[in-house]
Amino acid sequence: MRGKIIKGIAGFYYVHVMGEGVFECRAKGIFRNRKVKPLVGDDVRIDVVDGVKTQGNVVEVYQRKNCLERPAVANVDQAMAVFATANPPPNLYLLDVFLVRMEQVGVPALIGMNKVDVDDGANTEWIHEIYKRSGYPILFFSVKEGENMNVLKECLAHKTTVLAGPSGVGKSSLTNYLHPSAGMEVGALSGKGGRGKHTTRHSELFALDGCYVMDTPGFSSLEPPKMAAGELKECIPEFAPYGTNCKYLDCVHVGERDCAVKKAVEEGGIHEARYGNYVKMFETLKQGERFV
């Protein structure tokens, strides 16, 4: 049978087979013979050992489409950055770092803005304004009020989606909404900083009518991913239509003269908040290069 690893704990792999359920599997042979360590998200072939007890053996790991590192998960179709429109207020630098990270690994990203019910419309409007030219699908919803949840479900249908975002924005609530038996612990916001409870402990995909969703403990880093500062511009989709019109071919759009990207920022073709975060990430990467 063919299935997907949804969880790995202490040498056991839990393999979800559509229409059958979850099988608790070992993967001894694969480890020994091919040195493949199965990952959450891997599509695998299993032999059922005991149909009644739903136990089996992973006998083959199919070719991976891609593989993320933190969290370690294979075959990701898309990643959704989840933030709240308010409470806690969204940190758009964190969002932009995340978008760059996904560009770098080639995983399509979408932006999910939860808690529209606590926003009077102002945040929703300026966030929309900032990202509307980025090309990233952006979705405003409220898990609590059920607002726009059908559209959100459509975005996730038939795909494996990694959810990422700071704690307190409603990722556990969303996972529970999509998959009521997931039993994710939903924490109340506590403290002045609007920080939520401790985050998810291990990686687990939740299966739901043909789609898989994973709430991740990682992806909260403010560090831009490791790359040469000069490559960062390739990770900002809005730059693409302008970048080739700069005076210098190797323009990084920071201090150069006759820069078409900077001109587009001045004229409103690229939002200055997105550009500002680009410059901040660029400087951080440059700083790192100085110490190499």
What residues make contact with ligand GDP under the rule CB under 6 A? Answer: 114-115, 117-118, 142-144, 167-173, 186-189, 196
Q: Is 200 helix (H, G, I), strand (E, B) or coil?
A: coil
CA 276 → CA 55, 130, 193, 273, distances in Å? 53, 11, 24, 5
259 contact, one of ligand GDP, Zn ion, none, CB 5-8 Å limit per kind: Zn ion
Q: What angle do CA 157, 24, 56 make, to 5 degrees?
A: 110
Q: How far is the CB of 122 from ligand GDP (least distance, A)?
A: 16
Q: How far is the CB of 118 from ligand GDP (least distance, A)?
A: 5
Region of residue 194 (phi > 0: left; psi between -120 and 50: alpha; otherwise: beta)? left
196 contact, one of ligand GDP, Zn ion, none, CB 5-8 Å limit per kind: ligand GDP
CB 131 within 8 A of CB 111: yes
Alpha-carbon distance 285 to 292, whole Å? 11
123 contact, one of ligand GDP, Zn ion, none, CB 5-8 Å limit per kind: none
Exactly one of 232, 246, 265, 270 binds Zn ion (CB under 5 A); which one? 246
Exactly one of 259, 270, 281, 285 binds Zn ion (CB under 5 A); which one? 259
189 contact, one of ligand GDP, Zn ion, none, CB 5-8 Å limit per kind: ligand GDP
Q: How far is the CB of 227 from ligand GDP (least distance, A)?
A: 28
Q: Which lies closer to ligand GDP via its Cβ, residue 196 or residue 243?
A: 196
Which stretch in 14-22, 27-35, 101-109, 244-252 sits in contact with Zn ion by CB under 5 A? 244-252
Q: How far is the CB of 73 from ligand GDP (least distance, A)?
A: 17
Alpha-carbon distance 49 to 23, whole Å? 10
Residue 113 CB contacts under 8 Å (≥ 6 apart), including other chains: 83, 84, 85, 90, 124, 127, 138, 139, 140, 141
Choose among 268, 269, 277: nearest CA to 233: 277
187 contact, one of Zn ion, ligand GDP, none, CB 5-8 Å limit per kind: ligand GDP
Applying CB under 5 A, the residues found at the interface with Zn ion are 246, 251, 253, 259, 261
